């Protein structure tokens, strides 16, 4: 069985490099039905779908499993965006549950520490699953923490340390917000082909798909720009073209 990174790369060569952030607020009912509709209607323009905590919590395990099976039927990869960050035993049990529910990858917070991150990657890769770690988030206030200057042998900013840990732990990818293209460029230049860059924040939050692709982003994570559109298929199709560099 191919690795998560390989599976995602293969589908992205056909469908483009857009991952749907299937995140809704509390006003949206019938989350399972709505999510499956999104997959069936938009799958031609997606390589994956990301499910956040606030979507997962109202759903049952059976419903989550059905969503993941539907995504897989259309060739899409599924990512659990839970910012996993705990002691090794908790990380292990949590990730095992996610794999049993059909997920292909998890987004984790590297603040857990390098050793715990290495163990999470090692155990996940045994199951051909992926680990994506935060490096720099898309919200403006992210600068208050991720740009923080720290001293760990040398003076550097926190996101630079997180990038180093991602490379050392051999994670599959990092999250760098589309609203910070210069940081994307820095991470891309340093990481090369060793990890993929996933960028949320295109559209609604102000990020430009063309700009971040040219800066080194590998995958666009897009939610409200597609979900809140009156013509989501048209928006997804346009983003697909941009992800191909067209």
Q: What are the catalytic residues? A: 83
Q: Name the DSSP class of 75.
A: T
- Radius of gyration, alpha carbons of the chain: 17
| Rounded distance between C-alpha atoms, residue 40 and residue 58, angstroms | 21
DSSP letter for each residue of 10-26: HHHHHH-SEEEE----T
Contact 228, 198 (CB under 8 A): no
Task: Report how far residue 104's alpha carbon sits from residue 10's, in angstroms, rounded to the nearest whole number.
Answer: 14
Q: Are 177 and 136 in contact (CB under 8 A)?
A: yes
Half-sphere exposure of 108 (CA within 13 A, CB side): 35
Q: With contact defined as beta carbons under 8 Å apart, do 187 and 165 qualify?
A: no
């Amino acid at each position: 069985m191919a690795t998560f990174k390989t599976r995602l790369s293969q589908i992205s060569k056909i469908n483009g490099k857009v991952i749907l952030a299937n995140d809704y607020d509390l006003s949206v009912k019938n989350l399972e039905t709505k999510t499956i509709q999104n997959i069936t209607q938009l799958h031609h323009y997606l390589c994956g779908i990301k499910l956040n905590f606030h979507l997962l919590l109202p759903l049952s395990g059976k419903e989550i499993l059905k969503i993941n099976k539907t995504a897989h039927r259309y060739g899409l990869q599924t990512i659990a965006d839970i910012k996993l960050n705990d002691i090794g035993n908790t990380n292990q049990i949590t990730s095992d549950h996610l794999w049993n529910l059909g997920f292909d990858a998890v987004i984790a917070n590297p603040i857990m520490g390098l050793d715990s991150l290495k163990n999470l990657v090692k155990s996940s890769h045994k199951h051909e699953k992926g680990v994506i770690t935060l490096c720099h988030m898309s919200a403006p206030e992210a600068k208050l923490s991720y740009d923080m200057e720290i001293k760990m042998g040398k003076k550097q900013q926190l996101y630079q340390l997180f990038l180093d840990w991602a490379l050392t732990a051999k994670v599959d990818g990092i999250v760098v917000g589309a609203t910070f293209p210069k940081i994307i460029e820095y991470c891309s230049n340093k990481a090369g082909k060793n990890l993929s860059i996933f960028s949320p924040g295109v559209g609604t939050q102000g990020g430009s798909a063309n700009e971040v692709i040219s800066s080194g982003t590998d995958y666009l994570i897009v939610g409200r720009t597609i979900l809140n559109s009156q013509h989501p298929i048209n928006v997804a199709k346009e983003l697909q073209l941009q992800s191909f560099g067209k």
